[in-house]
Amino acid sequence: DGGITQSPKYLFRKEGQNVTLSCEQNLNHDAMYWYRQDPGQGLRLIYYSQIVNDFQKGDIAEGYSVSREKKESFPLTVTSAQKNPTAFYLCASSPRGLGRDEQYFGPGTRLTVT
Amino acid sequence: DAKTTQPNSMESNEEEPVHLPCNHSTISGTDYIHWYRQLPSQGPEYVIHGLTSNVNNRMASLAIAEDRKSSTLILHRATLRDAAVYYCILNAGGTSYGKLTFGQGTILTVHP
């Protein structure tokens, strides 16, 4: 089955630790995205990538980092610099990253930092 | 980014049609109108999108006003599985790289 996988589903970390969230897609999509969702809120864009080895900051990139070394993979690292890292993190992809393309979302990773 | 305005919540009965409105008075000529829906603790699911003309797919229909300042998502026969938060989003063409800006959305409750 084609789709987007995120792992793990739940992640717990101590404050001050960096943590990396996995996102893999086998849809052969060029563009990939990371969003963050807080309780009762809509999604906010963290980073996006339209092509391998290139990525751009979204609206709330501070305290996060990404890499795009392979077309299928777009891991997100939540660093200790992120002041409020506890959230639901969603990865998405789209065929070409154009305005007319739909985005396909993964199941999400719920990160809790204490 | 152009913004959208949706009602906070709507209710419907099962097997009845549902019309979810969205206002986007500052829409630009290259903005596509997208609709996504999200169940609790799940990733959003694409529903439908369009530019100027009305659109139909297996999930829903999208009616776009002639001036494009508003649109309506139509679920022809609501089921309990359609209960979700529905987001109306403007996805800019050009160099926006398909960025989606999510608002608060409309919480749709479907009664049996």
Q: Which chain A positions have a beta carbon within 8 Å of B8's beta carbon?
A: none
CB of A82 within 8 Å of a chain B CB? The answer is: no
Task: Kindly report the backbone phi and psi dihedral angles of residue B58, in degrees, each rounded to the nearest multiple of 5, phi listed first.
Answer: -70, -20
Q: How far is A107 from chain B (nearest CA, A)?
A: 5
Task: Kindly report the backbone phi and psi dihedral angles of residue A32, in degrees, each rounded to the nearest multiple of 5, phi listed first.
Answer: -140, 155
Residues 11-70, chain A, touching B (beta carbon < 8 A): 31, 33, 35, 41-45, 48, 50, 56, 58-59
Cα–Cα distance list, A24 to A3, A105, B99 (Å): 8, 11, 19
Q: Which chain B positions have a beta carbon within 8 Å of A29's beta carbon?
A: none
DSSP state of B67: T
Closest to B100 (Cα-Cα) out of B64, B21, B47, B52: B47
CB of A75 within 8 Å of a chain B CB? The answer is: no
Largest distance between two CA atoms of chain B: 44
* pLDDT tens track, chain A, 114 positions: 569 999 899 999 999 999 999 999 999 999 999 999 998 888 999 999 999 999 999 999 999 999 999 999 999 999 998 999 999 999 999 998 877 888 999 999 999 999
Task: Kindly report the backbone phi and psi dihedral angles of residue A78, in degrees, each rounded to the nearest multiple of 5, phi listed first.
Answer: -95, 115
pLDDT at A22: 96
Closest to B82 (Cα-Cα) out of B51, B50, B106, B56: B106
State the 10-residue block means of pLDDT for chain B, 112 residues long: 87 97 91 93 94 93 96 96 95 68 90 96
pLDDT at A1: 58
